[in-house]
Amino acid sequence: MGYKNTRECLNALDTRGELLRIDQVVDANIEVGAIQRRVFQAGGPALLFTNVKGCQFPMAANIYGTKDRMNFIFRDTIEMVEKLMKLKLSPMEALKKPWNYLGAPKTAWHTMPKKVSTGPIMQNETTVSKLPQLVSWPMDGGGYVTLPQVYSESPEAPGYGGSNIGMYRVQLSGNDFIPDEEVGLHYQIHRGIGHHHAQAIKNNVPLKVNIFVGGAPAMTMGAVMPLPEGLAEIFFAGAIGGHRIPMVTRQGYLPIPAEADFCISGSIVTGSGKPEGPFGDHLGYYSLAHNFPVLKVDKVYHRNDAIWPFTTVGRPPQEDTMFGEFIHELTADLVPSVFSGVHEVHAVDAAGVHPLLLAVGSERYVPYAEERQPQELLTNAMSLLGNTQTSLSKYVFIAAKEDMRSDESCHDIPAFFRHMLERADLTRDLHFITRTTIDTLDYSGISLNQGSKLVFAAAGSKKRTLSTELPANINLPDGFSDAQIFAPGILIIKGTRHQMKRDQQDSQLDRLGEALKTAKGIEGFPMIIVADDANFTAKDWDNFLWVTFTRSDPATDMYGVNAFTHAKHWGAETAIIIDARLKTYHAPALEADPEVEKRVDALGAAGGPLHGII
């Protein structure tokens, strides 16, 4: 039950007609990543590159590239895992329908790792420089592991119960890393390994770390699963994998999955750190070089038939989007139990996941009031910003369930924006948290890891009718042009190139707000976006969401028509203006290498291995 290693999984996909072998020489430097992205965008098969230039190991990609493929890989266990999650939500369910949970004890048994003395992973040793050196984008700082399972244990409470498995990118080469002796370990804020690292620093001891690549697909899923603190990912991996994960256990060493393809073993020495990056990231921009922990490498193991699984990230949607959708299906019913009063959440993939969170909550605090207004919704929003991965959200748009029809959902983005913009009181319902922690990969803030957040709440009856026609007398100040309607109530305007320093507002946007006061009908556009390219931003919802929410910091980049500040509360009587231009301090957007793209095109021509796929 469940695939125990990479080759088992790929063989099953091959039998199903969902694996393509590419036997001609390909380069891990840019080319394989470009191929993977193109095949993913086309909804194509998993890929096995058998002839990687200068490398003895085959590479596999796009294993998780479609929702159907993910459901197939975990088909034996997904139903029971969903039931167990529902059981956590409502324990009485097992008493009402015990026949639905007959497999629960077996699944619980699978959560416990199996101790073994050796396994395929211990068959060979190699060095870091002999591993595949995947470079996904032209400006990447070196070769990277992009589907790692980074394993650590609490120095103060070692063992599986205090373990963590996370998918933190690993830089194998480049920068100032000593070849074969050091690798860069990039982990962002609010990650489980951070607690272990803090304990190691407090106790002045090295933090032992194992980096697994490949093995059971369940281990990869465990590494990306946002589990509650205190629930070890290794236990979840056993449940979703349908078998006890065999772990090679030796005195004095961290355990290693017996069926892994590769394992890099080492330790983070207290205080060690070197520049890691740049790296083309999942927001669609590069994350630049910054100091991150260095793993001192002790050993590199691999099995005889080792395959190197990888993915590449970039502007969504990419293969990691499939992980998000899969996780949402598993956990949707748990949302109310984790966040009291919250009925559904939607971390918007097109906006880079963390920049924008849409949510539906209850508004029951004052049921007898003549007009409903956000009160409980604000408690709900603060709960979202204080727990799990939703705490990294930058913009939280939350609406009252009581105002929504039964067929409405925050997963219908155009309808949800319309609902919010019709009901929000812009003088009351904008709540900022300034100079707080934000996602490490988000460069819109005032420094690394620091920026602001906005809770945008809406409740009650409609406050306005959204316009679909431009105001007749709109008079834009110098530097602004090309005003166009994107959606009901949303106006996009082209602005001049941004020239301000970090942590500064732009008086040009204040002038725009002043000029729009006189535009008759502007009140029908409560949301106004200023962008570098109005046509690109207005092309579709994906472009609108990506530009608006990845290129703005709420506190720094929000202005208004008839804006005011009263007792430290900011609002706008008529409309909000979001400055979504690329800023002088933003990281560059990802751009493909034209020459590599031509080579990929050739693979898709008649006679090429990708013909009929891309």
DSSP per residue, 142-160:
S-EESSEEEEEE-SSS-SG
Residue 587 to residue 578: CA distance in whole angstroms? 19
pLDDT in tens, 191-220: 779 889 999 999 999 999 999 999 999 999
Percentage of the chain with pLDDT > 70? 94
Neighbours of 553 (CB within 10 A): 26
Supply the pLDDT for residue 388. Answer: 78
What is the arithmetic mean of pLDDT over 111-125?
95
544 is written with which tokens?
């609108």
Answer yes or no: are the C-beta atoms of 267 and 207 closer than 8 Å: yes
3-state class (DSSP) for residue 254: coil
pLDDT in tens, 576-614: 999 999 999 999 999 999 999 999 999 999 999 999 999
Supply the pLDDT for residue 192. Answer: 79
- Strands of 94-250, DSSP E: 114-116, 124-125, 144-145, 148-153, 163-166, 170-171, 182-185, 207-213, 246-248
What is the arithmetic mean of pLDDT over 171-179?
97
Which H or E run includes 302? Answer: strand 294-302
Supply the pLDDT for residue 92. Answer: 47
- Fold (topology level) of 325-458: UbiD C-terminal domain-like (3.40.1670)
pLDDT in tens, 402-461: 999 999 999 999 999 999 999 999 999 999 999 999 998 999 999 989 999 999 999 999
**DSSP letter, residue 589:** B
Residue 385 to residue 390: CA distance in whole angstroms? 6
pLDDT at 107 over 80: no
**DSSP letter, residue 382:** H
- Please tell me the least confidently modeled range out of 17-26, 207-216, 267-276: 267-276
The answer for residues whose C-beta is within 8 angstroms of residue 376's C-beta and 6 or more apart is 341, 361, 362, 363, 364, 365
**Which sequence spans correspond to the domains of the chain?**
6-73+111-310, 325-458, 481-579
505 is written with which tokens?
């507002």
- Fold (topology level) of 6-73+111-310: Pnp Oxidase; Chain A (2.30.110)
pLDDT at 190 over 80: no
- Category of 358 on φ-ψ map: left (φ > 0), alpha (ψ -120 to 50) or beta: beta
pLDDT in tens, 505-536: 999 999 999 999 999 999 999 999 999 999 99
Supply the pLDDT for residue 189. Answer: 67
pLDDT at 84 over 90: no
Residue 520 to residue 510: CA distance in whole angstroms? 18
**pLDDT class of 101 with cuts at 50, 70, 90:** very low
pLDDT in tens, 319-339: 999 999 998 888 877 788 788
User: What are the φ and ψ backbone dihedral angles of 32, each rounded to 5 degrees?
Assistant: -65, -35
Q: How many residues does the chain have?
A: 614
Using only C-alpha atoms, the chain has a radius of gyration, in whole angstroms, of 25
